[in-house]
Amino acid sequence: MFMIIHALLTSVSLTALGSQNTTMHFVTEFVLLGFPGEREMQMLFFSLILVVYLLTLLGNGAIVCAVKWDRRLHTPMYIFLGNFAFLEIWYVSSTVPNMLVSILSDTKTISFTGCFIQFYFFFSLGTTECFFLSVMAYDRYLAICCPLHYPSIMTGKFCVVLVCVCWVSGFLCYPVPIVLISQLPFCGPNIIDHFVCDPGPLFALACIPAPSTELICYTFNSVIIFGPFLSILGSYTLVLRAVLRFPSHAGRTKAFSTCGSHLMVVSLFYGTLMVMYVSPTSGNPAGIQKIITLVYSAVTPLLNPLIYSLRNKDMKDALKKVLGLRIHQN
């Protein structure tokens, strides 16, 4: 996959170069400013982000291991959760390691191809997360609103199909926007006031305005964001209506507890995502854009394991069992 993307971007960049004036200088690398400041503040920020990254890997890795090793969690809901935790590990790894290296670097450069490869994986993994959140909401809808038909609908085979669709479709969405943006001429300056290769700053660095490409990309982002979001909203509207009809208070409490953690994750992720990508953000200060991106790309993956484990008794028991086995073996 990496070699295919590299070859595609190289071909596209050469085509773009050939189609423009050959006397014009084109950039071969970008500078990611990240979070500039005094050296002491940079090292403090480096330490903070490193701790967040390691805790994110630990928390989500523990959920993946719990789902894999505890047979009680071999159900569709936890299989989706295990894949979601595995996804979060790669999602945060698509940006944070490069951010940490950039903080320690004096040049803070990233190659043209490397920038768009990061763009591809960061947005593809984010899109996959949107799809997984939608599928997890659909799973809760079936379990609560159609409990008698749930075992016959959400079979093991159908669960695997949904997981595969989420992963594959997530990685098939963004080649088109990436090709469109990479065809724009970048003739300088090459400084991106961000810590990740993001479409907004890239459009600002293009030598010529590209309103049609911007419109296509923002429309594309809106469809990817709002499609799963409306699906989640519809699923939980039906769940809420069904839960309110439960005769027993204990049944309502259990249903709300099961869905509450997922709704908290959806709110955290989509709240920041919509601010950034549903509408053009050129009017927002660069610092605000970076903080919002940092929240949904690094902070949210850290909080997800806490949200799911603290509000779910089965997951807490499985995590205690897994961690206890690891400590006992050591």
> Model confidence over 177-217: pLDDT tens digits?
999 999 898 887 889 988 999 888 889 899 888 889 999 88
CA distances from 306 to 60, 300, 315 (A): 9, 10, 11
pLDDT for 15 equals 47
Which range of 135-144, 194-203, 218-227 scores highest in mean pLDDT? It is 135-144
148 backbone dihedrals φ, ψ, rounded to 5°: -75, -30
> Model confidence over 18-37: pLDDT tens digits?
444 443 447 889 999 888 87
pTM of the model: 0.85
Residues belonging to the chain: 330
Residue 216 burial by Cβ neighbours in a 10 Å radius (0-12, 13-18, 19+): middle
CA distances from 49 to 21, 238, 274, 294 (A): 43, 39, 23, 10
Q: Directed axis angle between helix 313-329 and helix 300-310, to 10°? A: 100
